[in-house]
Amino acid sequence: NHKKKKKKRSKSNDDASTSKPKKLRFRVELHFGMDNLDWIQPQIRLVPNRCNLGGGSSTSHYYNYQLTQDASHLFTAKAVMEGADSTTTSNSKFQLKEMYPHLNEVIVLAKVWSLQRGLLNRHDGLTMDHIALLVLYMYRTKLIGPRMGAPQVLSAFFKLLAETNWIGEGTAADNKSRDERDHPNDEQNLIRKAPHEGYQENGANRSGKRTVLVLPMKEGESLAQTTANASMAQIYAKQTATSPLTPDDPKTLLALYETTYTLGPVFLDSSMTHNFFGQVSPACIRLLQREAQKGLQYLHSKSHEKPFQLLFMSEARFHSKSRYDAYMKIPLKDISFKNESNLWGEDRSDVGDYESIARGMVRVLKLALGDRVSDVQLLSTGNGNVSSFASATTSEIDIRDSDEIPVFPIDTTKTEHHLTAPNGHDHLVLGLSINSNTCFRVVDRGPPAEDNQATFRFLQLWGKERAELRRFKDGAIVHAVVWDESTSLEEIASDGDYTRFQNDDKVLGGIVERVVRHILRTHFVKKKKPVTASFALRDILSTVDGVIPDENKEVVTFNPLVAHRLVIKAFEELSSFLREESLPSISVQGSDTKRSRLGIPLAIDAVEPLDPALRYAELFPPIPHPFLGGSALPGIHKVSGAVCSSPVQIQIRFGSSSKWPTDLKAMGAAKTAMLLQLADGIERLKDAGRAKGFTGPVVVTPEYVDLCYKGYVFRVLVRADPQLKLLRELSRPSDEAANLLKVLTRKHVISAKHHSMVHAVYTSHPSSSMVVRVIRRWMSAHLFSGMIPLEAVELLVCHVYTGKDFPFDPPATVVSGLQRFFDLLSSYNWEGEPLIVDPQGHFDDSHRRDIAKEFEAVRGPQGNRGPAMFIITPNDWVMSDEESNTLPPKASAVSSVGSKNKSSMWYPTFTSHTPELVVLARARQLAKRCGAFLSQSLLGDSTSMGQRWPSLFHESSESFRAYSVLLRVDPEYVLDEESSSSAASAVVRRNEKLGVWQSSYSRSMYRRYYGPATMQLKLFKNLISQNSQSPTILLEFNPLDELVKQLRQALGQLAVFWYNEHCPDVVAVLWRPNLFSGKPFSAVSSEYMRPVTEDQWQKDTLTTVSVSDILAEMSSYSQDIIVDQKVFDSGMTITPAVTKKTAKKRKLEQQATESSSSSEDGNVSNDDTSHSQDDSDDGSEE
């Protein structure tokens, strides 16, 4: 036994030596400090206005702080022992716990809160000692008492951080009204206030007086008593009274810290010698104030349901879920101290090269950006995830934590030392929180011309080349900086690789980016060196926006914002026409009544929008067709013979009338008759010359009428409120009537409300609609078309921008909005919680409790029933005996509703049936991977990571092989190869024939405008002007959408169908689970079944599903649309018991099957699904 144990022990030791090292649980760091500061004589040398550095330095604040920092353990121990009757630190800490019972609890909570925000371990941030000393300060100054609980103490801690004027820039409450703080005397200065202009005074009117905290020696001691007894304060007062350094020296040391200290916040020990906050930078304290202000809101505001989760469970570090709206990498090697800038660098000899650059860059950028941004931060330590990586420079410690400050050995053999950041990188990472309300301001106005000093500072900031004298409408002639198209073209020409998108000012912070680039070029980057830094992942706009031509060429770029505005304008004109022409205005002979010009018996009361194109959410907005009343685009001489976009859906509502029939079938026929009369009336007005905007055919169906107005196809539905009311009043509705009520309510009532709600969000947050369009491109690229409703995507985006359960400000850019959408979709607890979307704050606590009860009832005891996504909005309130278009009652009205015994419930409208569980699971996994990929691309060290973003919109060949069957679509039906799931090139590239740069969106719009090759028409002026000779235009051309719709309806119980609606080159089929399980034969359910022919079949497994029959059924629907198919899962196979005879037989059969399949079956791979990416359909013509 002893030998066996010894052998086993030696084997385990060998395995341990060869295995990877485990993560270290702790590390001991030794800091060699000083026993005292008596060697520094005279002690007055440690005060802020004394300089201990040579070389022409004016201050040595940081150097003086580092002298006392080496003895910081003495000041910390003294602070702990001063309030306790003990001579040892350990006994003093024990007595402090006795005096303040909740001290440790609050310190732990504050530590977790700081760690989650990246404030604790950063090189210029807080430490555990800082948090403990601040709490001790509050106890000794009686801001809190020993009887207060931990939540009350934490609230007071947040209030101290937020409401202290740490660096002379005001408190967090003052920062809420930044415009008022920056311009306190606008009435006296007579400066205009226009949305596109801003006034910048460069900090001239700020007092700069900060609040200084001094830790009392004992509890209850006032600030005056503490400063009077402070040894350093006494030394300074005596020195200043006898021989001051300058005549303007403040009389007290406290006043000196309040006015002349420039390093950062000040929190002094009781002797006023050591500043505990000496290493805390102004940028860090600003962030600390903003987060503390949010913490107070989470604790005291009723709008936040989960304050504990927001404060301590939600990560809000520098990189977390795209906390900042824009990130920019700036190489340190490109920054020079020899750029003749007087706005930064004067503290280089004191704080060092990196700190001088970092603090100077943040300070200058805040001056330049003003209220365009709410926060400017640089990535520091304390913001990384716990990770393991091998270090080539440290042989003993191979596993490190990314939160730690890297330590590098001193190598005397190296003569060149490159500047690095504290986190070890050779570049700065800049994070910007952009103000979406002011970021697109075009003009920065300078101070009045008579203020020479302020004008000099303004020119010093912007440069004389950029700041020019301009005359404004109010008569003022001042220097100003204008960020218009001309300046953009100048930057493109100077920097070369900088691409301007048409709408990046509003959805990507384009002006903010150009301001940052200009400041870097003027004050930081080496002369004659181009600025290579730009917002990370900005080129993702290529999928949804056009590029501004760099040579002022008149090239059609299909600006999506302009396209949406044009279709909205056409809708408004059509709405006015229908309302006016439906009014009774023509007298009827022999009668006192009047009729309308349209001939319909009821006047149209309202025309309501329903289509995403009317709320800026259409991925490819419709373009006016030349043969349907639209204008021909310049330089384009061919157009599609079919409208390749979906008709724009709207609905009309009639005024109240008793003429409606009381029978449901008759009411449906009356709606169809209204559509027929509307079509006839428009045709009569066209013949009479009163309907000039209507060109093209008018198509009437029992459900809708298609009208061609000013180049657009509008699909008009009829909303009959009497029909809805009649259905609600049925005492015992049939299943058909109940289903009809649900369908009509969703189509006419809730869809109209949804449009109004999300359109309001899109208006308040300009980037939100662009995020929806990017998500639509992403979903279609991964074959989710028709799987997740568009309305559900819009509700998720609305929650991202208006939800109260995020520890961030609302996104202001497309990149941050997309990243947070991925995080919401992938991490939300869809199985256990309903998602409540309430952009306008209609819900109160009682509503949320009712929704939670309804959700639990729907999910059932096992939690596996009901919709996969339970999304509730104020529009989803369902009442049995009242109209469903009323808003949910407030808490005061809930009791009255219950007193009348009216049944009510909350149930999702748009996600009641879709998506399915399998679709949601796949979408969540994909969103999780895409979110992680975006984070790596934003902050990764490799420059190539930021260029790999197009893979977000690609499907790999391996993912295609995961499906059961692939159906290849005839290329003639594939309109837009640019949107392909496997071979699309989403980047901006140059069209050599046109001589311009084109985005992926512009290339797609050209292909859609041209249409299928077999249906293209040539444009001639005489053909467009003569309507009688105009060719017939197909008003809708979506054959693949109709095919997949029919397949899902007919075969949805057997398989799930996936496809890309924008480039449907492949239709993927995934069999349902347990589809091929053996079943006994039944004549009733024998469709698509075949007998089991495998040998040694088991009992009750006589039949199984026949894949060939299902594929034959699919072929009957697809006809000539599907040209090829590849089967990866052919169904059930029963494996018999293996014998020598059967093994030999099976081997021969397998070889024959493999040889036949390799010669007959098609192969769908990346090569097969690729498409040519030439520029033949990108706007250029032969």
pLDDT band at 22 (very low <50, low <70, confident <90, very high): low
Angle between helices 751-764 and 766-781 (to 10 degrees): 120
774 phi/psi in degrees, rounded to 5: -65, -40
Question: For residue 672, which amino acid is it?
Answer: T
What letter would DSSP give residue 657? Answer: -
639 and 1010 Cβ atoms separated by less than 8 Å: yes
Instruction: Identify which of 611, 617, 638 has the alpha carbon closest to the alpha carbon of residue 627.
Output: 638
Closest CA to 1105 of 965, 1000, 993, 994: 965
| Nearest-10 Cα torsion for 475, 478, 481, 483 | 10
d(CA 1055, CA 172): 57
Percent of the chain with pLDDT over 70: 80
**Sequence-separated (6 or more) residues with CB below 8 Å from residue 670:** 660, 661, 720
Q: Which two tokens stand for residue 69?
A: 């920092």
More confident of the two residues 201 and 491: 491
How large is the C-alpha radius of gyration of the chain? 36
Pairing of strands 638-640, 1016-1018: antiparallel
The H or E element that residue 477 is part of is strand 477-482
For range 521-544, the mean pLDDT: 88
Is 70 exceeded by the pLDDT of residue 857?
Answer: yes
For 643-668, the pLDDT digits (tens) are 999 999 999 999 888 888 888 889 98
* Residue 391 binned pLDDT confidence (cut-offs 50, 70, 90): very low
Query: In terms of pLDDT, which residue wins out, 532 or 619?
Result: 619
* SS3 call for 556: coil
Is the predicted pLDDT of residue 900 greater than 50, yes or no? no
Residue type, 327: Y
Q: Write down the pLDDT at residue 883.
A: 45
The answer on pLDDT for 636 being more than 80 is yes
Q: pLDDT-based confidence at 1151, cuts 50/70/90? A: low
Q: 149-186: string of b/e by CB count within 10 Å (b at 16+)?
A: ebeebbbbbbbbbbbbbbbbbbbbeebeebeebbbeee
**pLDDT for the residue numbered 235:** 92
Please report the pLDDT score of residue 402 as a whole number.
47
pLDDT given for residue 414 in this prediction: 55
Q: Torsion angle, CA of 494/495/500/506, rounded to 10 degrees?
A: -100
pLDDT at residue 717 tops 60: yes
Average pLDDT over the chain, rounded to whole?
81
Is the pLDDT at 735 greater than 60, yes or no? yes
What does the buried/exposed string (b/e) look like for 941-961 if buried means 16 or more CB atoms within 10 Å of the residue's CB?
A: eeeebbeebbebbbbeeeebe
Average pLDDT of the segment spanning 477-496: 71
3-state secondary structure 1005-1031: HHHHHHCCHHHEEECCHHHHHCHHHCC
- The confidence band for 34, taking pLDDT boundaries of 50, 70 and 90, is confident
Dist. CA 370–CA 362, nearest whole Å: 12
Q: Which two tokens stand for residue 266?
A: 């000040």
Residues above pLDDT 90, as percent of the chain:
41
Tell me the mean pLDDT in the region 502-506. 89
Output b/e per residue, 1032-1067; b: 16+ Cβ within 10 A.
ebebbbbbbbebbeebeeebeebbbbbbbbbbbbbb
DSSP string, 25-37: S---------S-S
**347/53 Cα distance (integer angstroms):** 11
Q: Is the pLDDT of residue 963 over 70?
A: yes
* Whether the Cβ atoms of residue 977 and residue 1171 lie closer than 8 Å to each other: yes
pLDDT band at 1014 (very low <50, low <70, confident <90, very high): confident
Instruction: Kindly state the DSSP code that residue 1069 receives in the 8-state scheme.
Output: E
pTM: 0.87
Q: Which amino acid is at 333?
A: K
**Burial of 496 per CB tally in 10 Å (0-12, 13-18, 19+):** exposed
* Residue 269: pLDDT over 90: yes
| 1102 within 8 A of 1081, measured Cβ to Cβ | yes
Instruction: Tell which wins on pLDDT, 309 or 1136.
Output: 309
Q: 282: pLDDT confidence band, cut at 50, 70 and 90?
A: very high
- Angle between helices 61-69 and 72-82 in degrees, nearest 10: 70
Q: 470 forms bridges with which residues in the sheet?
A: 478
First to last CA, the chain: 89
Asked if the model's pLDDT at residue 1182 lies above 50, the reply is no
Q: Of the given ranges (504-508, 564-568, 1042-1046), which has the lowest mean pLDDT?
A: 504-508
Tokens representing 1052? 């949805």
Question: Which string of DSSP letters, residue by residue, matches 662-682?
Answer: SSHHHHHHHHHHHHHHHHHHH
Residue 360 pLDDT exceeds 90:
yes
**What is the per-residue pLDDT for 1178?**
61
Say how far apart CA 640 and CA 1036 lie, in whole Å.
11
Q: How many CB atoms lie within 10 A of CB 1126?
A: 19
Query: What value does the mean pLDDT take over residues 701-727?
Result: 93
**1066-1071 β-sheet, strand order:** 1055-1059, 1066-1071, 965-969, 1122-1127
Rounded CA gap, 266 and 232, in Å?
15
- At 668-698, the pLDDT tens digits run 899 999 999 999 999 999 888 888 889 889 9
Picking from 1143, 913, 1153, the residue whose alpha carbon sits closest to that of residue 1049 is 913
Q: Is the pLDDT of residue 733 over 50?
A: yes
* Local confidence band at 551 (pLDDT 50, 70, 90 cut-offs): low
List the one residue out of 497, 444, 434 whose CA is nearest residue 466.
444
Q: Tally DSSP H helices, then E strands, for the chain.
A: 38, 30
What's the confidence (pLDDT) of residue 98? 78
Q: How many of the other CB atoms lie within 10 Å of CB of 136? A: 21
- Coil, strand or helix at 690: coil
Residue 355's beta-bridge partner residues? Answer: none
pLDDT of residue 1080 exceeding 60, the answer is yes
Average the pLDDT over each of 11-25, 217-231, 265-279 and give the range with the smallest value: 11-25
Indicate whether 884 pLDDT > 50: no
Length of the chain: 1182
Tell me the pLDDT tens digit for each residue of 310-355: 899 888 888 777 789 999 999 988 898 877 778 888 888 888 889 9
Angle of CA points 800, 802, 807, to nearest 5°: 70
Q: How do residues 112-137 score in pLDDT, each as one tens digit?
A: 999 888 888 788 889 889 999 999 99
Question: Are 632 and 699 within 8 A, CB to CB?
Answer: no
Write down the pLDDT at residue 1127: 92
What's the mean pLDDT in 256-282? Answer: 92
Q: Tokens 């941030």 label which residue?
A: 125
pLDDT digits over 750-807, tens only? 999 999 999 999 999 999 999 999 999 999 999 999 999 999 999 999 999 998 888 8
Could you give the strand order of the β-sheet that contains 373-378, starting from the edge strand earlier in sequence?
326-331, 427-434, 373-378
Distance CA 927, CA 934 (A): 10
Q: How many CA atoms lie within 13 A of 81 on its CB side?
A: 12
pLDDT of residue 275: 94
Using CA atoms, how far apart are residues 496 and 492, in angstroms rounded to an integer? 5
Selected residue with higher pLDDT from 57 and 256 = 256
Single-letter code of the amino acid located at 245: L
Those residues whose C-beta lies under 8 Å from the C-beta of residue 738, and which sit 6 or more positions away, are none
What tokens does 862 get? 């096992």
Q: Is the pLDDT of residue 305 over 80?
A: no
Of 7-21, 597-611, 961-975, the range with the lowest mean pLDDT is: 7-21
pLDDT at 193 over 80: no
Model confidence at 1111: pLDDT above 50: yes
What is the C-alpha separation between 351 and 62, in angstroms, rounded?
Answer: 6
Residue of 884 and 268 predicted with greater confidence: 268
- 1103/1077 Cα distance (integer angstroms): 9
**Span 1153-1166, average pLDDT:** 42
Cα separation, 304 vs 1049, in Å, equals: 43
Q: Which residues is 431 bridged to in the sheet?
A: 327, 377
Q: What is the pLDDT of residue 1027?
A: 47
